[in-house]
Amino acid sequence: MLSHISALTDGLMWTRSGIVWAVWRVSPIPYAYQPDDKKHAARRHHTALYRALRGESLHLGLVAATDPVSVVEAMVEGVDVAEHEAWAAECNATLDFLEHIEIGRRVHWIAAPLPNPGAKAVLEPLQASWAALKDQLMLPRAVPSKHAIGERAAQAEMLRKEMPSAFDPRPASVAEMAWLFGHAMQRGLGLDMDVPVHGSLDAELHLTGAAVLPAALIDPAGQTDATRRLTPMQILKRPYVKVIDPEYPDRASYQSTLVVSDTPSGGIVYPGCEWIGRVDESSVPCDWAIRMTVRSREEVTGRNRRAVRTLNDQFDQRSEEERAGSSLDGTARALGEYQAVMDADELEVEVDATTMFTVSGPSAEQVLDDARDLTKYFASMQFKLRNDPTVQPALFDATLPGIPTPRAVREYSQITTARSFAAAVPFATTDLGDTSGSLFALEISNGASRPNPVFVNLGGASDKLDVALAMGFVGELGSGKSVALKSVALDNIDRGATLIAVDHTDMGEWGTAVSEVAGSQVVEIAEDATLSMDPLRCLPPATAPRVTRSFLTVLLSVQTKSEQNVLLSKVLQPSYMGRYGITSLGSLARHLESECELAGAHTLADEMRIFSELDFGRAVFDDTLPAIDLDAPAIVMHTNRLQLPSRSDMEHSHLFAELKAEKVFGRAVFALIAALARHRCFKDRTRLDIFAADEAHKTMSSPEAAEEIGMFIRDGRKHKAALLLGSHDAEEDFGNEVVRGLIPFRVLLRHRDENLARRGLRWLHGQQSDAQVDPQLIKLITEGTAPVMDGAVGVPEERRGECLVRDFQSRYGRAKVLAPLVVSRAETVKTTPTSSTGTVIRS
């Protein structure tokens, strides 16, 4: 049998029946895990789409496999792999890992037959028949003329402009249409390639092969599998088609198309029952196709009137049967309600749609199992799916564009309004992340049956989106915050970025994490310090005095308008420092003590000695230690022994006045770290530099450090400087409202406390502190995210890293953070002071 399609060009499809179809690729709208207002907006877009599409159309949601190679290509984009060997190793490991799992995403299409107005209604079919006859006679083939192409393209464009721009419909390229047909021929075999990108090598391969559209052998009920002729009853017990590629007869794809044959009589609840948009949650891999006819309100009113006449006649015919209340009364009520809905909204239209789900696999048994699972999934929502054995080949055709709607498909159609059908939200996506970058996580919004890669491109993609370069991680102890933070940081170091991190853990886990990075430096702010972070020694002369003065001002509690401040300004002038050979804080202290003749110098020296003689003051004041190299690829500031003033210390003047020297030192050092980080990260605008502050509440408890971080986040984007913050509660720990609000990429991990989970969700969705939160989401965070099974098991390995994510484009979804895939690297990252049950192992 010859297919209906006679010619293809970008966005258009000529058929042998004289109908030209327009085919568009559409972009789905982010849906699951979005706040309710965004969900309602998505539904409104769907309603508008159905109202724009008068007449027949075919809507498709096909699962396209993602080639692991394409994932790795996205990971190496813009990175010279030869120069970054660690990244190459990670990419290799990723490739190996991805080959063990199926990844892919749903791609969406709309196809519609274009009307043949006026004389065309007769001429086009005649021309099509003439072309078919010429084909039969092996005469030269006719192709649509340039004029015809132009005319049809204009017709299609008119229709495209009617559709809501939210779906961004664009004419499908010939390669994409070829993919569509190829996909239908080999569903369920795992042979699919990614949808070809226009102009790519893939697209060329699709177009320059032996045939553009692949031939197929369609065997209803898989009769070629039987050794003997099947009896009619046996045939009817095999509700599937076997699609065979004539070139590879061994590769058979079994496909079964299920049709929605009944809908819930009470209707469906919205939001919550998006029966097509959330079909992936069934965990049955399937393609969906909707053949719909949209009718105007006037036409529907006419049909409803006829239905009323039929109903009256039926009341008469069934008068005997219908005495004690009957189904006809229900029908009458529904009809009245339907007409009332139509009357109430002038723009409302009727959607008469047949929804089909195609399950597929390499064997008939698998297909029937999947069909059963999907039927059960829909039965739980009171939808009835029917696996009609008699029309499987017709249903297979019905899921492809260019083929007239088969009769059986019309018989199964379900009638509703555009607004009600839009509640199914078919064009929904849960895509997350950037298009390239490091592989941060796998998106598991639809369950883990078909995850999607989530890339984070701190340096690149975020540039175009004009958002701050910052990621925030919130979760309880042991929820995986630190692993996530370290994974992002290390991936980026491998890709050529630099890191400066504050590590407040006793184990020094960040030090362990960067141990494999060549040239990394760890500053122990303790008596056993081996490196010095003296600003006068590690900063260039132009910046050093300013940062040093800020540090000393905080350390020595110097008032702005005081003699001490004037003195500090004088001694920290580059010319003065040059004259007296002041090159470090140690030499400054010695100078003030012995050489300096300026008033108040000795007092200042005495005050400095309080801190320089503290055992952990060495990291700043001991000039015998080598200074850190601010150009090192990774610097970790190990601050676990530092004490910090509490909030009440800072708020009450009497407590502040009695602050211990250790706490004052801690406060000043955190401010110094933030200043050093800002200097280092802002220096080079071409290179990505990361400042990571895990346990951000510690860093933020120094007001000066919090201020530095505020400036960091506001200006970081211009300097390609990224900020990573991690803590337990965004509201308390991420500084002020501006910092909290400016963090575009938000990751919310497990919080078993309901109140903290609610606060975390508000931050994730950017809501007010008294906003309502979806209780289901709270339950998801408290119980369904990386759940702790019991004290012995902790979090099962396969559930670790689960979280909710808001990406740079403000899309939401559920994901599983991926620790580095190179085993040795993964081990360094996973070293954590807490067990997965949240109990501290060492303290």
Partner 1 sequence: MDERELETAKFYTRARRIPMLVGKMPSGGRIWGGPYTITQIGAGALVGFVLWKTAPLWAQLGGFMNVVLAAGIVIGTVWLTGKIPSTGRNPATWLMDALNLTTSPGRLSGGRLVIARPRRLNHRVMVLLPDGDRAARLARTRGWTGPDLVPVDDVDQREVATGTGEMPLPPLTPTDLIRDDDRETASLTGVGELLAGKLRRKDG
CA distance 805 to 32: 12
Measured from the CB atom, the residue of 116 and 314 that comes closer to partner 1 is 314
Kindly tell me which residue out of 408, 477, 507, 566 binds partner 1, with binding defined by CB under 8 A: 408
CA distance 381 to 268: 8
Q: Give kind and range of the element (H or E) at residue 637.
A: strand 634-638
Q: Which of residues 137-156 bind partner 1 (CB under 8 A)?
A: 140-146, 149
Measured from the CB atom, the residue of 414 and 550 that comes closer to partner 1 is 414
Task: Put the strands of the sheet holding 634-638 in their side by side order.
Answer: 452-456, 438-443, 812-817, 802-806, 745-748, 470-474, 721-727, 689-693, 498-503, 634-638, 521-524
Kindly tell me which residue out of 61, 169, 220, 744 binds partner 1, with binding defined by CB under 8 A: 220
Gyration radius (Cα) of the chain, Å: 34
CA distance 791 to 835: 10
Residue 268 interacts with partner 1 (CB under 8 A): yes or no = yes
Q: Which of residues 87-106 bind partner 1 (CB under 8 A)?
A: 89, 92-93, 96-97, 99-102
Residue 767 interacts with partner 1 (CB under 8 A): yes or no = no
Measured from the CB atom, the residue of 220 and 511 that comes closer to partner 1 is 220
Residue 81 interacts with partner 1 (CB under 8 A): yes or no = no
Say how many CA atoms lie within 13 Å of 20 toward its Cβ: 27
Measured from the CB atom, the residue of 203 and 605 that comes closer to partner 1 is 203
Kindly tell me which residue out of 55, 164, 362, 784 binds partner 1, with binding defined by CB under 8 A: 784
Measured from the CB atom, the residue of 266 and 540 that comes closer to partner 1 is 266
Residue 212 interacts with partner 1 (CB under 8 A): yes or no = yes
* 496's tokens: 């050529």
Q: Which of residues 425-484 bind partner 1 (CB under 8 A)?
A: 442, 444, 447-449, 451
Q: Is 225 helix (H, G, I), strand (E, B) or coil?
A: helix
Beta strands in 448-585 (DSSP E): 452-456, 470-474, 498-503, 521-524
Residue 270 interacts with partner 1 (CB under 8 A): yes or no = yes
Kindly tell me which residue out of 800, 806, 811, 830 binds partner 1, with binding defined by CB under 8 A: 800
CA distances in angstroms from 719 to 255, 632, 681, 689, listed in the order given: 54, 18, 7, 9
Q: Give kind and range of the element (H or E) at residue 132.
A: helix 120-136
Residue 778 interacts with partner 1 (CB under 8 A): yes or no = yes
Q: Which stretch binds partner 1 (CB under 8 A): 355-363, 618-626, 697-705, 767-775?
A: 767-775
Q: Which of residues 301-340 bind partner 1 (CB under 8 A)?
A: 303-304, 307, 310-311, 314, 316-321, 328, 330-331, 334-335, 337-338
Residue 801 interacts with partner 1 (CB under 8 A): yes or no = yes
Kindly tell me which residue out of 165, 223, 594, 736 binds partner 1, with binding defined by CB under 8 A: 223
Beta strands in 752-829 (DSSP E): 802-806, 812-817
For 313-340, give the secondary structure using H, E and C: HHHHHCCCCCCCCCHHHHHHHHHHHHHH
Residue type present at position 409: V
Kindly tell me which residue out of 266, 325, 540, 791 binds partner 1, with binding defined by CB under 8 A: 266
Residue 232 interacts with partner 1 (CB under 8 A): yes or no = yes
Measured from the CB atom, the residue of 135 and 593 that comes closer to partner 1 is 135
Q: Which of residues 145-204 bind partner 1 (CB under 8 A)?
A: 145-146, 149, 174-175, 181, 190-191, 193, 199, 201-204
Measured from the CB atom, the residue of 52 and 307 that comes closer to partner 1 is 307
Q: Which stretch binds partner 1 (CB under 8 A): 607-615, 649-657, 730-738, 794-802?
A: 794-802
Kindly give the interhelix angle for 563-571 and 601-612, rounded to the nearest 10 degrees: 80
Residue 773 interacts with partner 1 (CB under 8 A): yes or no = yes
Residue 722 beta carbon to partner 1: minimum distance, rounded to whole angstroms: 26
Residue 360 beta carbon to partner 1: minimum distance, rounded to whole angstroms: 15
Q: Which residues of 449-464 are buried (b: 16+ CB within 10 A; e: fewer)?
A: ebbbbbbbbbbbbbee
CA distance 820 to 811: 24
Measured from the CB atom, the residue of 309 and 561 that comes closer to partner 1 is 309
Measured from the CB atom, the residue of 14 and 712 that comes closer to partner 1 is 14
Q: Which of residues 21-60 bind partner 1 (CB under 8 A)?
A: 36
Q: Give kind and range of the element (H or E) at residue 719.
A: none
CA distances in angstroms from 665 to 323, 538, 669, listed in the order given: 91, 19, 6
Residue 272 interacts with partner 1 (CB under 8 A): yes or no = yes
Closest CA to 72 of 53, 89, 88, 91: 91
Residue type present at position 465: L
Q: Which of residues 555-574 bind partner 1 (CB under 8 A)?
A: none
Strands 498-503, 634-638: pairing is parallel
Residue 272 beta carbon to partner 1: minimum distance, rounded to whole angstroms: 7
Residue 570 beta carbon to partner 1: minimum distance, rounded to whole angstroms: 60
Residue 119 beta carbon to partner 1: minimum distance, rounded to whole angstroms: 23
Q: Which of residues 632-671 bind partner 1 (CB under 8 A)?
A: none
CA distance 108 to 93: 31
Residues near partner 1 (CB under 8 A), total: 151
Residue 477 beta carbon to partner 1: minimum distance, rounded to whole angstroms: 20
CA distance 311 to 303: 12
**Tokens 């984070």 sit at which residue?**
456
Measured from the CB atom, the residue of 118 and 266 that comes closer to partner 1 is 266
